[in-house]
Structure 1
Amino acid sequence: MTRVRVSRLIRLGSIVGSIALIGSTAACGSSATESGGSAGSGAAKASAKVGSIAAMVPKSIASKGTLTIAAATYPPAVIEPSNGAAPTGWDVENVRQIAAVLGLKVNVRIVPFNGIIAGLQAGRYDAATGEIYATDERLETVTFVTNHSSDDALMVPAGSKITSASADTDLCGLTVAASLGSAEAALAQKVAGECKSAGKDTLTVKTFDSQANVNLALRGGRVDAAVSSASQIAYVMSQSKNQFKLVDLPWAPKYKTGLVLPRNADTAKFAEAVRVATDHLIRNGRLKKILDQWNGGKGLIQGAEILPTSTG
């Protein structure tokens, strides 16, 4: 029987200003914000450039001086403040610090999640971030440099009779929401197929174009539950005055996440530079501080990896 982890709340003392919880700024805009030494409310001072690591960056990227980063609003990994300030959150801060070590600035563009991979492939962005899972399907077309690990959970209203989901088919008969194009949506569809094969009640999956709209659907009673990363759910819970609770999914996959890079002639070289910069920040404790500040310390890894290990 799975316990409901209501205690997994995020410490967000350094987030300045009011951030609308469920309706937070929708991830379908086109805002862009440049950051160098500082960015957004609560942003830490940028790490110092490390010359030996910066020298690893391909000339095609170093000459631009700024990485254009695609990200969908997904608190607490990516937070788009309602006052128009620079996007922030733990994954945005990770990227800022990695870029600083490489001698680069970042320009974060808030875009719809389901357009990120296509945008990378089209060359519109240099990289993407936002707790994006390194799934097998994505690894066929893009490259990840990991800096974090994640897992999924179920978010339900506080008064819901759903208190556990020890098996995937425990979701049969529910209407579940997930973000369009997400690994959570794919997971829910897979379970829906298993419910059908087992002759159980239908699992209905509804997808929405942003995490904010997923949360709105749950709050409005249009769905029974929402599948999201555990850290995102914990953030919502911390902001919602006990409106929701978290239900573990012990059978759900664990995922590696990190900076996502398009495939081109410089990918291998740039990925290695990012990997070394990430390891530098893991060793000096900077990434741990970011996760402690923004994500309750969840998801720290021992070392960065380049995935897939070979692009063929």
Structure 2
Amino acid sequence: MSHRSRLLAAGLLLLTMAAGCADPTTVSDAASTPDPTSGSTGPSAPATVPVTEADPEVEALVPAEMKKKGTLVFATNAPYPPLEYFKEDNKTLIGYDIDLGNAIGAAMGLKVEWKNISFDAIIPGLQAGKYDAGMAGFSIEHERLGTVDFVSYYLSGGGFLIKKGSGIKVGSFDDLCGYRVAVQKGVSQVDALVEASEHCVAEGKKAITVNQIPDQNVVVLNLASGRADVVVGDKPQVEYAAGHADGLCVISTYQTGHSIAGIAVPKGKKDLTAALQASINHLIENGDYAQISKVWNTGVAVEGATLSDQYQKVSQPWGVGPDGTVNKSLVFTDPAAIPPGHTYYYQPVREGCA
């Protein structure tokens, strides 16, 4: 269940437990600041946003009309940290998607313009020609490929957040029997929790208490305050929460048959998808992609972790390596490339968390 394979797309997870959101990078001047996950699952070394230069080979692929205009217009939907949200001024967009999107545009020799709109309006806006592309952590889904094309850029999924040292070991939805689980109202994980709870009862175990909360920030606060035992959410968001709240950690993660995330592009815009793909692959090759991913702890591998053999067979054709990082961006146009529905692939429980 990757980011925004959801029924609703409300803004969420802004977590330094009492105050406003932490800005792990200055973005505008790329000044050195601590990694946002220092002290949790990420490396502790400082990370900075690189200054990406235009690449002539990528520039040559940019559609003539866009090159003449000189701008690449991305539609996005904030707040959704760590992918896209606002600085404390409530005006300046920051996040993984923002930094990576700006770097993609820079490699194409273009200025990037961001339009923050409702999530449900992004794809219709692309179809109407209002925006060049949509970058809002879209999972590349079977159903979406009927209306837009995608250029892949990271592997997402979901995860289970607990209090560190709680003794709760959750490696799948079926392990949640008897627990109080906080989840954002309307997301697709709700269906998985209801189904798992029914399975618990059928086996004579206690049902899952599913607490649906509209605001993801409040979802996590329920866990921190002891009103929930577990939080279920998308992988980037639970990892971000663990890195910004003392005493919380991600006990395990999972992927689905559509956990690859991509940039949405109007159907049939082959020149644009080729340029975006080339730009992302250039950033992968020159190291800028890895550096931006490290700043936001998105699209990076947990040290020593590998995807299961079963899931490697699913994700390898997507350009995903055994550690879960994208090593090659691909263009997706055919709905047959991604299976419909939800099939879960669980990763091992992490040591030192429960």
Regarding TM over 0.5, the answer is: yes
In the alignment, which residue of structure 1 is the partner of 2:252?
A: 248
In the alignment, which residue of structure 2 is the partner of 1:275?
A: 277
Unaligned runs of 5+ in 2: 1-13, 22-26, 32-47, 302-323, 338-354
Listed as ranges, the matches of 1:214-229 within 5 Å are: 214-219=219-224, 223-229=228-234
Per-residue Cα deviation, 1:131-170 (whole angstroms, up to 9, x for no partner):
3322333333332211211232111344755x22234222
In the alignment, which residue of structure 2 is the partner of 1:76?
A: 82
Per-residue Cα deviation, 1:237-296 (whole angstroms, up to 9, x for no partner):
222122x22221457667212322233x5x222111111111111111110111223217
What is the count of residue pairs matched by the alignment? 276
CA, structure 1 residues 66+311, in 2 after alignment: closer, same or farther (shift >3 Å)?
farther
In the alignment, which residue of structure 1 is the partner of 2:9?
A: none
Indicate the SS of the match to 2:79.
coil
Correspondence 1:295 to 2:297: yes
CA distance in 2, matches of 1:115, 1:100: 26
CA, structure 1 residues 128+238, in 2 after alignment: closer, same or farther (shift >3 Å)?
same
Correspondence 1:97 to 2:103: yes
Unaligned runs of 5+ in 1: 1-18, 27-37
CA, structure 1 residues 250+54, in 2 after alignment: closer, same or farther (shift >3 Å)?
closer
CA distance in 2, matches of 1:124, 1:24: 36
- Amino acid aligned to 2:176: L
Q: Please tell me whether the aligned partners of residues 71 and 111 of structure 1 are also in contact (alpha carbons under 8 angstroms).
A: yes
CA, structure 1 residues 20+228, in 2 after alignment: closer, same or farther (shift >3 Å)?
closer
Give the C-alpha shift of residue 47 in structure 1: 1.9
Q: Please tell me whether the aligned partners of residues 113 and 180 of structure 1 are also in contact (alpha carbons under 8 angstroms).
A: no
In the alignment, which residue of structure 2 is the partner of 1:31?
A: none
Q: Please tell me whether the aligned partners of residues 22 and 236 of structure 1 are also in contact (alpha carbons under 8 angstroms).
A: no
In the alignment, which residue of structure 1 is the partner of 2:235?
A: 230
CA, structure 1 residues 193+41, in 2 after alignment: closer, same or farther (shift >3 Å)?
same
Indicate the SS of the match to 1:283.
helix
Listed as ranges, the matches of 1:103-252 within 5 Å are: 103-113=109-119, 115-121=121-127, 123-158=129-164, 160=166, 163-179=168-184, 185-196=187-198, 199=202, 201-203=206-208, 205=210, 211-219=216-224, 223-242=228-247, 244-250=248-254
Q: Which residue among 16, 19, 25 is the counterpart of 1:21?
A: 16
- Amino acid aligned to 1:156: I
Q: Please tell me whether the aligned partners of residues 70 and 125 of structure 1 are also in contact (alpha carbons under 8 angstroms).
A: no
Percentage identity across aligned positions?
A: 25
Runs in 1 of length 4+ with deviation above 6 angstroms?
23-26
Q: TM-score scaled to structure 2, two decimals? A: 0.64
